[in-house]
Amino acid sequence: MTSIPPGEDPKALVEGFNLASLPPAFYDDPFPVYAALQSLSPVHELPGGGLFLTRWDDLRTVYQQPALFSSDKKAAFRPVFGHTLLYQHHTTSLVFNDPPLHTRVRRLVAGALTSRAIAPMEKALHHLLDDLLDRAEAQGAIDAIDDFAAAIPIEIIASLMNIPPDEREPLRGWSLAILSALEPNPSEDMKQTAETAVGDFLAFLKTLIEDRRRHPLDPDTDLLTRLIQGTGIRDGLTEIELLQNCIFILNAGHETTTNLVGNGLHLLLTLPSARDLLLRRPALIKTAVEEVLRFASPNQLGNRVSTADTTLGGQRVFAGTQITLCIGAANRDPAQFENPNDFDITRSPNRHLAFASGPHMCAGQQLARLEGQLALARFFERFPQAELAGEPKRGNRARFRGFSSLPVKLSPD
Ligand code: HEM
């Protein structure tokens, strides 16, 4: 199976590619364009400036050299966001920083998200899934995004920070608004909505942090107490860094994990042979989740800026070049993956870049895997004959690949 459909001219796909103005069909299926870029222009100059990389090798090269390819977004974001809270948020988040800020925050966050630290969450996750699936069964048909996939990460991350259950409701809306502003060409409206969301989120966190300072919890299990204790000390965080990184962590695990579960459900609902195999051999859930991460990577695009003149894929790159790393394309690179457009839940090894690579590699990957594996396994255990009950709707975003709606009927009539 090739991802460039017969009759489609790869050269025309490459020439027509403009990240700043994408046609609606692209959101549905960007892979023919990615495959054309990969074979004809792997280090592609974008119409508005900057490079777009699609080869697995080139992405790895960039990820592994953080000094040469910086994550600092201050210069890139100032013209887009101006002097706003949104600018402060994105440019203070660890993911968009180099050392020393990145190192300081990463050290604090990483310890709270190791396999050992998250193991106690497994029981709570089982309860949450049983509860959601009981409710789903009573309904008979559900929107698998709103009623299932999106309901999982919000509860898990909020409980990592011990946010009281009755205060969690606005978190998803804030998170979606803030992340939307990272689309390649955000509208004024998107930016304004995101700005309001950052303001509301900050106000919410200030109250929560004040209260947690008065009543600290165990820093080994409460991420918020851990971050607070790392604030205002030597080599610690400033108050603004504390607040903005709390927002980032709450956001980082939301939509990405929702999309992992939503994309996994969609693939297994629409590819019966993969689902049947998983039902016969449930132990395949681990490789199945890795394959969902590769095949429909929740985070499709990353960014870096070059700090010195260099070369990439044999092409000269000048200092100060904005570089877009296309994870979605690299994860279908035939030079790394055999039959890359086949969804194969037994694939091993599977060296996908869905969580990136190098010092910024996703700090929450073990948690995301745990959520993805348990959610998909429990769903199909309970509803092995579930089927799509209507047209799924995509989120229509280039950076985050997922569905905004996925109607599902849980058993046949
Ligand atoms: C399927 C779900 C997820 C995917 C696909 C994903 C993907 C990514 C990617 C690609 C990066 C690197 C960005 C870059 O350097 O350009 C990243 C960073 C990060 N992710 Fe995730 N993520 C997921 C879930 C989570 C969860 C559940 C959490 C935590 C609760 C989390 C926390 C973070 C943090 C803190 C970083 C920043 C790491 C750093 O800059 O050192 N992520 N993630």
Among 267, 33, 251, residue whose Cα is nearest residue 161: 251
Rounded CA gap, 376 and 394, in Å?
19
Amino acid letter for position 393? K
Substitution site in 64, 291, 362 for ligand 1 pocket (most atoms within 8 Å of beta carbon): 362
Q: Is 188 exposed, middle or buried (0-12, 13-18, 19+ CB in 10 A)?
A: exposed
**Residue nearest atom 16 of ligand 1, based on CA coordinates:** 302
Cα of 183 from ligand 1 centre, angstroms: 17
Rounded CA gap, 303 and 301, in Å?
7
**Residue nearest atom 22 of ligand 1, based on CA coordinates:** 362
Cα of 154 from ligand 1 centre, angstroms: 15
Residue ranges in the chain whose pLDDT is less than 70: 1-2
**Residue nearest atom 4 of ligand 1, based on CA coordinates:** 256
* Helix locations, 271-364, DSSP H: 272-280, 285-295, 327-330
User: What is the reported pLDDT for 1?
Assistant: 41
254 Cα nearest atom in ligand 1: 27
Handedness of CA 28, 366, 351, 90 (dihedral sign): positive
Residues with CB under 6 A from ligand 1: 71, 94-95, 102, 106, 109, 113, 157, 249, 252-253, 256-257, 260, 298-299, 302, 354-356, 360, 362-364, 367-368
Domain boundaries, the chain: 10-409
pLDDT single digits (tens) 157-187: 998 899 999 999 999 999 999 989 988 889 9
User: What is the reported pLDDT for 235?
Assistant: 84
User: What is the reported pLDDT for 118?
Assistant: 86
Superfamily of domain 10-409: Cytochrome P450 (1.10.630.10)
pLDDT single digits (tens) 241-267: 999 999 999 999 889 999 999 999 999
DSSP state at residue 400: B
3-state helix, strand, coil in the chain (%, to 5): 55, 10, 35
Rounded CA gap, 123 and 23, in Å?
44
User: What is the reported pLDDT for 396?
Assistant: 85
According to DSSP, the β-strands at 322-326 and 51-53 are: parallel
**Residue nearest atom 18 of ligand 1, based on CA coordinates:** 362
368 Cα nearest atom in ligand 1: 27
**Bridge partners for 324 per DSSP:** 52, 303
User: What is the reported pLDDT for 272?
Assistant: 96
Q: How many C-beta neighbours within 10 Å does residue 46 have?
A: 16
User: What is the reported pLDDT for 183?
Assistant: 87
Cα of 96 from ligand 1 centre, angstroms: 12
**Bridge partners for 237 per DSSP:** 231
User: What is the reported pLDDT for 8?
Assistant: 83
User: What is the reported pLDDT for 284?
Assistant: 98
* Helix locations, 271-396, DSSP H: 272-280, 285-295, 327-330, 365-382
According to DSSP, the β-strands at 43-45 and 393-394 are: unpaired
Rounded CA gap, 136 and 34, in Å?
37
Cα of 138 from ligand 1 centre, angstroms: 34
DSSP assignment of 155-184, as one string?
HHHHHHTT--GGG-TTHHHHHHHHHHTTSS
Cα of 363 from ligand 1 centre, angstroms: 6
248 Cα nearest atom in ligand 1: 35
Q: Is the pTM of this model over 0.85?
A: yes
Q: Which residues contact 374 (CB under 8 A, 6 or more apart)?
A: 122, 125, 126, 129
User: What is the reported pLDDT for 141?
Assistant: 97
304 Cα nearest atom in ligand 1: 16
CB 101 within 8 A of CB 223: no
CB 216 within 8 A of CB 106: no
- The structure tokens listed for 316 are 């000269």
